[in-house]
């Protein structure tokens, strides 16, 4: 492995992001920045390593960035398509994990449930990376805060407003934002708040890092003077039967020009994509010069390369 890669002492997996300390997250940001600035330093760093990609959900950014990422580091991927047959149906998850650990050096899983991710990790001796579950999306949030650090220079005290559903992305923004020392504000409709346990853990961590976690009564309160405005789809994969109810509940939570105007003068718009223009965000906001959604998408590659270097070395 390239000498420029500084290994971290942490758990073998990335399941939630909460298993990594603030100091370890900070080191990961440093590594991602070096990977992005000096990609040639890391060519061949994971030569001979194989990564299994288990996907129960369709993917553009996650699949491409992991496949390109490990390939550029000298490794290779094996894609296991579980969009038709769910993980655990044909063969138990423990058996899948115990087979894969004999052939590959890591597992990236994009699943409907966090329990599936956890079961893979419990039964495999190799690293397991959560590429999205119903509860967390740590690779996304790590990439997002890395993107904000590039943009603003520091994450300490940076105000990020999340407006929308208290979903997996929201959970990971809370946990990673707390570790970064950011000021994360959340505005969700009644009945769609993030999980209380995730909020509690984020608040404990924020006290350590001098960050701040705040639940706001309205989108306007959350967005006021914020430097980053973040939203996500109102209806995630697997919630299709809730579309009508969710559209009614979230109608006042669209990030449009009127709401965005209440943010800081240098504020940026963020979205994990795919986006529904005219629903959670207006076309005028997401397609404006202040939108950094494609910077976020690009940085998924660099951050995930840093994660792979950290866990597969």
Give the active site residues. Answer: 110, 137, 140, 232, 272, 300
**DSSP β-bridge partners for residue 269:** 229, 291
Edge-first strand order for the sheet with 76-81 is 76-81, 50-55, 106-110, 128-130
Q: What is the largest distance, in Å, between two alpha-carbon atoms of the chain?
A: 55
Orientation angle between helical segments 168-180 and 138-152, nearest 10 degrees: 50
The Cα–Cα gap between 218 and 190 comes to 10
Hey, what are 250's tokens? 């979230």
Instruction: Please provide the size of the chain in residues.
Output: 313
Determine if the peptide bond prior to 274 is cis (ω within 30°): yes
The Cα–Cα gap between 302 and 238 comes to 29
Query: Mapping DSSP to helix (H, G, I), strand (E, B) and coil, where does residue 30 land?
Result: helix
Hey, what are 270's tokens? 């963020």
């Amino acid at each position: 492995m390239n000498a420029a890669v500084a290994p971290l002492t942490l758990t073998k997996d990335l399941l939630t992001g909460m298993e990594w300390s603030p100091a370890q997250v900070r080191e990961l940001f440093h590594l991602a920045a070096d990977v992005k600035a000096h990609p040639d330093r890391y060519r061949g760093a994971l030569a001979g390593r194989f990564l299994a990609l288990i996907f129960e959900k369709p993917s553009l950014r996650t699949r491409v960035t992991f496949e390109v990422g490990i390939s550029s580091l000298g490794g290779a991927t094996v894609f296991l398509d579980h969009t038709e047959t769910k993980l655990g149906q044909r063969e138990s998850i423990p058996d899948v994990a115990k087979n894969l650990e004999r052939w590959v050096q890591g597992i990236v899983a994009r699943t409907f449930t966090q329990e599936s991710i956890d079961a893979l990790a419990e039964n495999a001796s190799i690293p397991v990376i959560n590429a999205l579950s119903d509860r967390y999306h740590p690779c996304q949030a790590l990439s997002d805060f890395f993107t904000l650090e590039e943009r603003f220079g520091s994450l300490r005290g940076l105000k990020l407003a999340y407006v929308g559903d208290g979903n997996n992305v929201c959970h990971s923004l809370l946990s990673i934002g707390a570790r970064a020392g950011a000021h994360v504000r959340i505005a969700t409709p009644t009945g769609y708040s993030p999980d209380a346990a995730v909020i509690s853990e984020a608040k404990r961590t924020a006290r350590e890092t001098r960050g701040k976690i705040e639940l706001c009564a309205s989108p306007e309160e959350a967005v006021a003077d914020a430097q980053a405005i973040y939203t996500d789809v109102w209806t995630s994969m697997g919630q299709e039967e809730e579309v009508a109810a969710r559209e009614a509940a979230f109608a006042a939570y669209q990030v449009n020009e009127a709401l965005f105007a209440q943010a800081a003068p240098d504020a940026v718009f963020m979205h994990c994509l795919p986006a529904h223009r005219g629903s959670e965000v207006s076309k005028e906001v997401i397609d404006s010069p202040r939108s950094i959604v494609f910077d976020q998408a690009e940085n998924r590659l660099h951050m995930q390369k840093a994660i792979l270097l950290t866990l597969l070395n």
